[in-house]
Amino acid sequence: MEASERPQLPLDDGGAGVVRVLDDRLVIESLTVSDERAARVVRERAESGQAPAETIGKAVEIGARVLDTEETAANVDYVRHEVETSFGKLDKQLGATIEQGAESIAEQLATSFGIERSDSVQAQIKEIVAADRESLLTALTKEDPSNPLVGMQVRIGKKLLEAEERHRLQTAETNEQIAGLREELARANERSLADERVAEAEAAGTRKGRTFEERVHDAIERIAALRGDSATHTGAEQAEGGGKKGDTLVELGACDGPAQGRILFESKDAERLSKNKAWAYLNEGMAKRAASFAVLVVAGEENVPAGRQQLSEYEGNKMIIAVDRDEPDGLALEVAYRLAAARVLLARETDLEVDAVAVRDAAAEALSIVGQAQAIRSTLTGIKTSSDNARKGLDAMVDAVKEKLRLIDSLIASAAEAD
């Protein structure tokens, strides 16, 4: 009986279910809620062990709180709006009332103390204020020391002039410093450019002033000094047999005793000689300089005589090598020098038992490596970046060539000692 007297909601006859409110409880029967998120939450919590009825109960509680909060906020906004509207009306009413009261008081004061009355307080105050204002304006507009504003204006004007003068002087000084710095910078740039031009001129002068023949001789002289040989620049000297054939004459072992043989080096960079003309130069030079072997040094592979190969022995006493025009001091020239020296020494010591096969193989390997090294060097000439690995390979090849040359020298030395 008690339950039936409590407030209840009418039965929902929409077919979606029955919801009854009994005091502080809800009774829901056959209610279907179509919400994907709600179904997913109930399902996931049921899988984790929480009863679906408990999840639904919490969802209803939380949803009810949210709805209640939204309604409360709406009510608060409504109340705030009504209060602001009411206060606005009240403020206008009060303002009108105060204004009306002020006008009434003013009328009463005017009646008792009218400005038109000469004996009124207002009239007397007005006269005093007017007189004081006239006196104050007169005092403040006079241009004599008695006016306190004059002194202030003078002081302010003086300070402004002083500040302007200081600014002018500082600006002038700064401009002078900037001008000085610009001049110094210009002079420094001119000196730098002049130094660069001088360096370039000196380098160009050095390159142009020294001929290909002289550069080749210096390179040969360096190689000869390391071996105890003597290298003489004979390009401008009269030969023993007459004429000035041959540019550099190398005397093997001449620094330590009698020469063991002579090698003639002929340098050519102006033209590509034919084979016959090249042999004529070398044969005539060997005859005039009493040399037993001759090497034709040309500037670049393009000047090698047609049909001839570098570092190949021709007619038993001639060889051709191509070097860089500006920097002939390289591996190729040293290989040609050593092979020529070995050939001269072998021809002199005819009774030496030298492993000719080993010498030939070492020379062939050296020639192959020199070809590879020259190809790499040509590539490096036009490549300034990413060249470290290539240079390492080049250095390894150089070492390998030098090792082959040392092998040739040791073979010859061993044969000489055995003899």
**pLDDT 10s digits, 27-66:** 888 778 888 888 898 898 889 898 888 888 888 888 877 7
User: Phi and psi dihedrals of 252, rounded to 5?
Assistant: -70, 130
Closest CA to 359 of 323, 413, 297, 305: 413
How far, in Å, CA of 125 to CA of 106, rounded? Answer: 17
Q: pTM higher than 0.75, yes or no? A: no
- pLDDT recorded at residue 317: 92
Computed over its alpha carbons, how large is the radius of gyration of the chain? 58
| Tokens read off for 56 | 């639904």
Of 3.90.550, 2.60.40, 2.30.29, 3.40.1350, the CATH number of 212-329 is 3.40.1350
Q: What is the pLDDT of residues 316-361, one digit of tens each?
A: 899 999 999 888 988 889 989 998 998 888 877 655 555 656 766 6
pLDDT at 205 over 70: no
CA 247 to each of CA 41, 102, 181, 250, 262: distance values in angstroms, whole numbers, following the listed order: 103, 129, 57, 10, 13
pLDDT tens profile 164-191? 888 888 788 878 878 877 777 777 777 7
